[in-house]
Chains A and B, each alone.
Chain A
Amino acid sequence: MLMPDGGTARHRDILSESQLKESFPDWREQIRYSERLDAQSAETVAPESVLRGPLASRLGHDLYSHQAEALDLLGGDENVVITTSTSSGKTLIYQLQIARNHIDNDDATALCLFPTKALTNDQEQALNNRLRGELDLDTHIGTYDGDTKDERKRTVRESANVILTNPAGLNVYLPRHNKDRGWHRFYSNLELVVIDEGHEYGGVMGTHVAWILRRLRRVLAHYGADPQFVITTATIGNPAAHASTLTGAEFSVVSEDGSPRGNRDIVLWEPPLDEEALEGYDDGSGDLMEGFEQARRSSAREASSVTAHLAVNGIQTLQFTTARQGTEIGAKQTIEAVRDHPRNEYIDVEPYHAGLGKRKRRAVENQLKSADLDAVISTNALELGIDIGSVDATVTDSYPGTKQSFWQQIGRAGRGTSDALSVLVGGKDAMDAYILDNPGYLFDDDTVEDAVVSIDNDRVFADHLLAAAAERPLTAEDAPYLGGEDRFREMTAMWQDAGLLEQAGDLDAGGVTYAGDRRPQSRISLYGTTGIDYEVVCTNGEIEHDPVATERAYRDYHEGALFLHAGQQYEVAEVDHSQPHPRIHVEEVATTHYTQTLSTKQVQNLDVADHTSLADGYDIYFGTGTVRITYGSYMVRDYRTGELIDGPLPTETPPLDLQTELLWVSLPEDHLQTTINALDAPLLEPTDRAGDDPRVPMEQARYTYAGGLHAAEHGIIQLAPLELMIDNHDIGGLSTPSHPHETIPGPTWFVHDGIDGGIGFSKAIYEHIETLAARTHDHIADCECGRRRGCPLCVMSEDCGNNNDPLDTATGTMILDDLLAAFDPD
């Protein structure tokens, strides 16, 4: 029904109504919406118009208009950020700029930063082919990272024109600038810095990268080098601002895409909900999450069925899942789905994620390229520009959280001008529900989310300041790079007082040298803000796992927690919190269970930084405070059915104090009473579970109102990624009928960064609160569940530390209504 013309392309046929009816197991009209994006022809410019003779003739083909525009700007000494679509030829821009620089001056060097090592290897190959092959230039290009052999490293330092690495590598190589002739040569002649996939640098990682780039620029200034920057990014709402926060420099934006593309079909697919299974959960007495889990086929299983269906029909498919632990299960489920499929076919499926070994990843990439695999189930690790050739179709299991990421994944299908098919299988949370209900959000609205990166975290700054001092003594001239005059001087003074910078030194006279233990850079962790990482070690087998930041260790890796990694299930046996090398000891286990952590929270020591005063006693504040979270207990569930197996069980985890950024919405003192008076629905009856929970008010009016506040808080957090590129697992909330702080006369709810020191998330939400509240209001009021206690598609959250109780969509809608009215009193 939704493939009106049946299509000439073979793969479009596969998802036609008749085909699906005939061959899709248990077809229940899952297609909610489909959109056809028409092919677009190329807009090109003759290379001679921007490149000088020899280079233009060697290039031998036209440039797309956006490539020419960018090269023009670079020719005029500007920094450029390019936001055109996936596979629009963004890399050619910096390749040609490197070539131009090289022709003008064969000592010229360029530094290229990629977010992953895999991408670095890929691009080294591409650069060599372009510069040494096609353009016939005598450039020396070298990757320089943790995998590079020492001997090779020396050659690269001594002679490379182009060095490719990643920000974490740059962090530890930078201090060598004055200890090695090769680095000195490289930095002195540096004319171009390329930052590929710049949208990747948000949140915790982004704040570290922003400081590493500032440290780089400051060292370069010492060598008299002032390179141009080229940043490529996926489409984001604020490219110039993002590029500027990341580097501290000013940028011109190139966004008009001149590249061609084929027809593209995008299908929104809704897993069927089994209404009958929900009966018996509706009175609030049962475990609603379990009900929903059983009622709705898991989106992952449904996505696997779609992938299986495409693959058995000969369409090579790349399936993206949002959770790392989804890829292995996804591969298993796809094979199961193929077994259930009426066509008796066999297909080759592999999981792919960053936790796999390098060799394994390379093998999957090559098998994809050579079409030896029919399907790959991947995390967003394959979202980035690793060359896997083109797949015929993509299946996205659950909305990936941002439009930017969504389009990036879709761009993986049908590279060049070939036709492409993509399916989004809706997950079971509020974002997905919103998008299935409002496909226009994806297709009509031209705006995309803002990337969120902040350099305001003083703890991260403090660490990078020590690193900078170890690279070169600090002097007054460094202030523009290192936080600005006041912040730079205050933090320098702090470290002098603490004895880690030379106490006798003077910024205005000779400088301040580093006096702490050697190589502070090596102790900076890009995974967190506190410099403390948990190492994951396996007691009865092998595990290769990235270090875990404190905040995540407390939430997801408490004793008894279950997780799946690289195809193997693990249980956390013991957590050793002792500094300086805390460890998580895990054991291999065989189980179909997963765990869900419950928490309690207190917010204290509020300090107001900004305040928006609304009408009638409504106020919104932004500031800092201490959030004490106790991940005290956890539930064990079966991931196939959602069934509660055990719990709540104690975690034995000590409380975690986050000194972080937060916003709070302060409501009028009598708001509980006025809301309850105006409520024309019955009050909610507290659940049995709530009766056991001393934090939940048992009196009906208070219980109902608390449910409304809780619903509003959840709703806003869950829909925040509609506006902002933020990971809502790194935001937390707390709603409470009263709080002792002077700015809070009545009920309130908090939204806080889940990372110590903050990473700009709650600040961005504060700045967008009106739009977010409006979206949330409409979404909760219109949710098709129509249930007072909500559903996972509107206000229930898997991350809820309080088992989603109490929740009331009726009061929640009223609270948001009142808040919105206060923005606009007339």
Chain B
Amino acid sequence: MVDSLGPDVLVATDPQANIVGPALNREFDLDILEVGTGMRPDVAVTDDNRCVVVALPMGEDPLNPEQIATRVEMSSVGEDPVDLATTSQICLMDQTVSLSVDPYARSATLDGVSSYRGRVPDQWWTARTVHLSTALRAGFTTTQSHGDDGDTQFVGVGTSNADLGVGTTADTTQATLVALYSNGATDVSEVDPQKFGLRGVPEIGPTRFETLRNAGITTVDALADTPLRQLTELSGLGRTSANTVQTAAEAQSTNTVLPTGDDSLPNQEPVFIDIETDGLNPSTAWLIGVLDGGPEDGHYMSFREQAVGDGSHLKAFMTWLTGAAAGRPVVAWNGYRFDFPVITEQLQQHHPDIVEAWTDRYQFDALWWATKKNGGNAALPGRTNKLEHVAYALGWEPSTNGIDGATVAKLYTAYRSQVAGETDAGSVAEPDWDRLERYCEDDVRALATIYEHLEAAARQDSETKTPTGENSSQGSLADFS
């Protein structure tokens, strides 16, 4: 996991940070920070020398900026020592700021802010500083206003003991990936450590992982190269499943799409779409991005609402779809679970008369085809089956960065709230629509990239369908066992 993500700094968090820290230290040549355990602040500088991360030591004493400056100089990479005063970003990390939720009092409060404030030198109590806490849940960010002190952004990078009711699963303790951008924005996402390496391959659970590891098969590449017979013996998998596992491993190891089934893709030229909403349980699809054609040269169109909640773009989209693009399948990634039903609901709300024209349309979910239809038709590369991750593994590069679906939804929601609060909608500062549309365009082009590879894999499959040797004929026999 660490290899694949390539972070600048690793932070050991609870449970058992004191055990994890040293273990990581042995394993990786990286700065490993631990909060609240050292006698002195723990400091790390990123490879590009732009960001300094400071983990607060034990006790309650204020940080000493001079002491940290010295340590930063020692930790700097390259010829020129980093000057703390000019570093573009300071990241302070502690373990005292935490959330407490009391449903009986109907309040959620950040605890420990004032004692934390007492340890932070004034020059770092600014909007340029990001405050991380290992006692806040990964993915949680909150901004506190402190009057003259300005706003302070707290970002969770650990686990929370707060009573979060049914809102969190807490099933697996996931790793948190914090990305800091030069403009001060942060992006926090969770990554499941169990989805990396061998454990990321379908059918490989903890037991098989152990077995394979004991047999010396420790990487996806090695798994892809293991003879099928050995794999069946080791894993207790049937021949068909073993074959699937190996194909999946090969897809990941070679960053290619490989065929695993017999289904064909739609015959007609597809229309690729992607929607932007106000969250994962959306009440709007304010932008529908459409790509007509291939990933490189296809024509991109944005159907965006003209005013908050007006739904006019839905009609325009449908007019185009039923006119210029009549009869072509509409393709989306994870469309059956998200894009298609959301559009249906939006049409029901705004244009009930044309709902049928939409629901009768040939809708095609490329992810479902690849992973689910008749047991799946293609093995995908990428660290997850998310659109960006698969496309990235296939060589696609986004034109925007520092932005994802959730961020776009947040920007839109904030804008919408402002509009509703103002009588004159024109006086509200609009988001950078171009950037948001470009992000949506990135996604449909990513989808088209994957689709090209799926087509190639499907063709390859039809060419090699005839059994060519012992392996494949036994494989097909096992299909009926």
User: A residues touching B (Cβ–Cβ < 8 Å)?
Assistant: 175, 178-181, 184, 458-459, 461-463, 466-467, 469-473, 487, 490-491, 493-495, 497-500, 502-506, 508-511, 513-518, 520-521, 523-524, 531, 579-580, 624, 659, 757
Taking CB atoms, residues of chain A closer than 8 Å to B162 are: 498
A sample of 16 more A-B contacts (CB under 8 A), given A493-B106, A498-B99, A513-B280, is A180-B341, A181-B344, A459-B103, A463-B166, A471-B281, A473-B278, A473-B281, A473-B282, A495-B167, A498-B101, A504-B417, A506-B417, A509-B417, A510-B309, A520-B166, A524-B166
Query: In angstroms, how far is the closest chain A Cβ from the Cβ of B114?
Result: 17
User: B residues touching A (Cβ–Cβ < 8 Å)?
Assistant: 99, 101, 103-104, 106-109, 137, 139-142, 162-171, 278-284, 308-309, 337, 341-342, 344-345, 348, 359, 409-410, 413-414, 416-421
Taking CB atoms, residues of chain A closer than 8 Å to B337 are: 179
Taking CB atoms, residues of chain A closer than 8 Å to B359 are: 181
Q: When the two chains form their complex, are residues A508 and B420 in contact, meaning their CB atoms are under 8 A apart? A: yes
Most chain B Cβ neighbours within 10 Å, of A461, A467, A473: A473
> Within the assembled complex, what's the spacing in Å between the Cα atoms of A515 and B188?
14
Determine which of A463, A473, A509 lies in contact with B165 in the assembled complex, contact meaning CB atoms within 8 Å: A463
Contacts A497-B142, A505-B413, A511-B283 hold; do A466 and B341 have CB atoms under 8 A apart?
A: no
Q: When the two chains form their complex, are residues A470 and B281 in contact, meaning their CB atoms are under 8 A apart? A: yes
Q: When the two chains form their complex, are residues A462 and B103 in contact, meaning their CB atoms are under 8 A apart? A: yes
Query: In angstroms, how far is the closest chain B Cβ from the Cβ of A3?
Result: 57
Q: When the two chains form their complex, are residues B170 and A513 in contact, meaning their CB atoms are under 8 A apart? A: no
Closest to B136 in A: A499
Taking CB atoms, residues of chain B closer than 8 Å to A499 are: 99, 137, 139-142
Q: Which 6 A-B pairs have the closest CB atoms?
A: A509-B420, A516-B167, A513-B279, A500-B167, A497-B108, A510-B416
Taking CB atoms, residues of chain A closer than 8 Å to B345 are: 178, 184
Taking CB atoms, residues of chain B closer than 8 Å to A180 are: 341
Contacts A458-B106, A469-B281, A491-B106 hold; do A503 and B164 have CB atoms under 8 A apart?
A: no
Most chain B Cβ neighbours within 10 Å, of A184, A503, A513, A518: A513
Closest to B419 in A: A509
Taking CB atoms, residues of chain A closer than 8 Å to B279 are: 473, 502, 513-515
Q: When the two chains form their complex, are residues B108 and A579 in contact, meaning their CB atoms are under 8 A apart? A: no
> Within the assembled complex, what's the spacing in Å between the Cα atoms of A459 and B164?
10
Q: When the two chains form their complex, are residues B341 and A472 in contact, meaning their CB atoms are under 8 A apart? A: no
Q: When the two chains form their complex, are residues A509 and B416 in contact, meaning their CB atoms are under 8 A apart? A: yes
Taking CB atoms, residues of chain B closer than 8 Å to A518 are: 169, 280
Closest to B104 in A: A458
Taking CB atoms, residues of chain B closer than 8 Å to A458 are: 103-104, 106
> Within the assembled complex, what's the spacing in Å between the Cα atoms of A624 and B308?
45
Contacts A506-B421, A523-B166 hold; do A473 and B103 have CB atoms under 8 A apart?
A: no
Taking CB atoms, residues of chain A closer than 8 Å to B101 are: 494, 498
Taking CB atoms, residues of chain B closer than 8 Å to A179 are: 337, 341
Q: When the two chains form their complex, are residues B104 and A517 in contact, meaning their CB atoms are under 8 A apart? A: no
Taking CB atoms, residues of chain B closer than 8 Å to A469 are: 281
Closest to A499 in B: B140
Q: When the two chains form their complex, are residues A514 and B280 in contact, meaning their CB atoms are under 8 A apart? A: yes
Determine which of B137, B169, B283, B309 lies in contact with A580 in the assembled complex, contact meaning CB atoms within 8 Å: B169
Closest to B170 in A: A580
> Within the assembled complex, what's the spacing in Å between the Cα atoms of A757 and B359?
46
Most chain A Cβ neighbours within 10 Å, of B139, B279, B418: B279
> Within the assembled complex, what's the spacing in Å between the Cα atoms of A181 and B343?
12
> Within the assembled complex, what's the spacing in Å between the Cα atoms of A383 and B214?
58
Determine which of A462, A466, A515, A579 lies in contact with B170 in the assembled complex, contact meaning CB atoms within 8 Å: A579
Determine which of B103, B171, B344, B417 lies in contact with A494 in the assembled complex, contact meaning CB atoms within 8 Å: B103
Contacts A495-B108, A498-B164, A531-B165 hold; do A178 and B341 have CB atoms under 8 A apart?
A: yes
> Within the assembled complex, what's the spacing in Å between the Cα atoms of A514 and B278?
10
Q: When the two chains form their complex, are residues A580 and B410 in contact, meaning their CB atoms are under 8 A apart? A: no
Taking CB atoms, residues of chain B closer than 8 Å to A504 are: 410, 413-414, 417
Most chain A Cβ neighbours within 10 Å, of B140, B164, B169, B359: B164
> Within the assembled complex, what's the spacing in Å between the Cα atoms of A818 and B142?
56
27 CB < 8 A contacts A-B: A178-B345, A181-B344, A184-B348, A466-B167, A471-B281, A473-B283, A487-B106, A491-B106, A495-B108, A498-B162, A499-B137, A500-B164, A502-B278, A502-B410, A506-B416, A506-B417, A509-B420, A510-B283, A510-B284, A510-B308, A510-B420, A513-B279, A513-B282, A515-B280, A520-B166, A523-B166, A523-B169
> Within the assembled complex, what's the spacing in Å between the Cα atoms of A178 and B349?
11
Taking CB atoms, residues of chain B closer than 8 Å to A509 are: 416-421
Taking CB atoms, residues of chain A closer than 8 Å to B418 are: 509
Query: In angstroms, how far is the closest chain B Cβ from the Cβ of A579?
Result: 7
Q: When the two chains form their complex, are residues A467 and B420 in contact, meaning their CB atoms are under 8 A apart? A: no
> Within the assembled complex, what's the spacing in Å between the Cα atoms of A463 and B344?
28
> Within the assembled complex, what's the spacing in Å between the Cα atoms of A497 and B107?
8
Q: When the two chains form their complex, are residues A498 and B108 in contact, meaning their CB atoms are under 8 A apart? A: yes
Closest to B277 in A: A513
> Within the assembled complex, what's the spacing in Å between the Cα atoms of A513 and B309?
15
Q: When the two chains form their complex, are residues A490 and B106 in contact, meaning their CB atoms are under 8 A apart? A: yes
Query: In angstroms, how far is the closest chain B Cβ from the Cβ of A90?
Result: 35
> Within the assembled complex, what's the spacing in Å between the Cα atoms of A502 and B279?
8
Query: In angstroms, how far is the closest chain B Cβ from the Cβ of A283?
Result: 47
Taking CB atoms, residues of chain B closer than 8 Å to A516 are: 164, 166-168
Taking CB atoms, residues of chain A closer than 8 Å to B141 are: 499
Most chain B Cβ neighbours within 10 Å, of A491, A503, A510, A517: A510
> Within the assembled complex, what's the spacing in Å between the Cα atoms of A499 and B153?
13
Taking CB atoms, residues of chain A closer than 8 Å to B419 are: 509-510
Taking CB atoms, residues of chain A closer than 8 Å to B168 are: 500, 516-517
Query: In angstroms, how far is the closest chain A Cβ from the Cβ of B414?
Result: 4
Taking CB atoms, residues of chain A closer than 8 Å to B280 are: 513-515, 518
> Within the assembled complex, what's the spacing in Å between the Cα atoms of A461 and B409?
27
> Within the assembled complex, what's the spacing in Å between the Cα atoms of A472 and B420?
19
Query: In angstroms, how far is the closest chain A Cβ from the Cβ of B277?
Result: 9
Taking CB atoms, residues of chain A closer than 8 Å to B139 are: 499
Taking CB atoms, residues of chain A closer than 8 Å to B341 are: 178-180
Query: In angstroms, how far is the closest chain A Cβ from the Cβ of B202?
Result: 20
> Within the assembled complex, what's the spacing in Å between the Cα atoms of A459 and B105?
10
Taking CB atoms, residues of chain B closer than 8 Å to A500 are: 164-165, 167-168
Taking CB atoms, residues of chain B closer than 8 Å to A491 are: 103, 106
Taking CB atoms, residues of chain B closer than 8 Å to A466 are: 165-167
Closest to B279 in A: A513
Contacts A181-B359, A514-B281, A580-B171 hold; do A462 and B165 have CB atoms under 8 A apart?
A: yes
Most chain A Cβ neighbours within 10 Å, of B109, B283, B308, B410: B283
> Within the assembled complex, what's the spacing in Å between the Cα atoms of A357 and B73?
70
Q: When the two chains form their complex, are residues B106 and A502 in contact, meaning their CB atoms are under 8 A apart? A: no
Query: In angstroms, how far is the closest chain B Cβ from the Cβ of A493?
Result: 8
Taking CB atoms, residues of chain B closer than 8 Å to A490 are: 106-107
Taking CB atoms, residues of chain A closer than 8 Å to B164 are: 498, 500, 516
> Within the assembled complex, what's the spacing in Å between the Cα atoms of A508 and B420?
8
Query: In angstroms, how far is the closest chain B Cβ from the Cβ of A628?
Result: 16
Closest to B156 in A: A499
> Within the assembled complex, what's the spacing in Å between the Cα atoms of A497 and B414?
15
Taking CB atoms, residues of chain A closer than 8 Å to B344 are: 181, 184
> Within the assembled complex, what's the spacing in Å between the Cα atoms of A493 and B167?
14
Query: In angstroms, how far is the closest chain A Cβ from the Cβ of B186?
Result: 14
> Within the assembled complex, what's the spacing in Å between the Cα atoms of A770 and B15?
52
> Within the assembled complex, what's the spacing in Å between the Cα atoms of A176 and B34?
43
Taking CB atoms, residues of chain B closer than 8 Å to A459 are: 103-104, 163, 165
Q: When the two chains form their complex, are residues B109 and A521 in contact, meaning their CB atoms are under 8 A apart? A: no
> Within the assembled complex, what's the spacing in Å between the Cα atoms of A494 and B162?
12
> Within the assembled complex, what's the spacing in Å between the Cα atoms of A184 and B346?
12
Closest to A492 in B: B106
Closest to A525 in B: B166
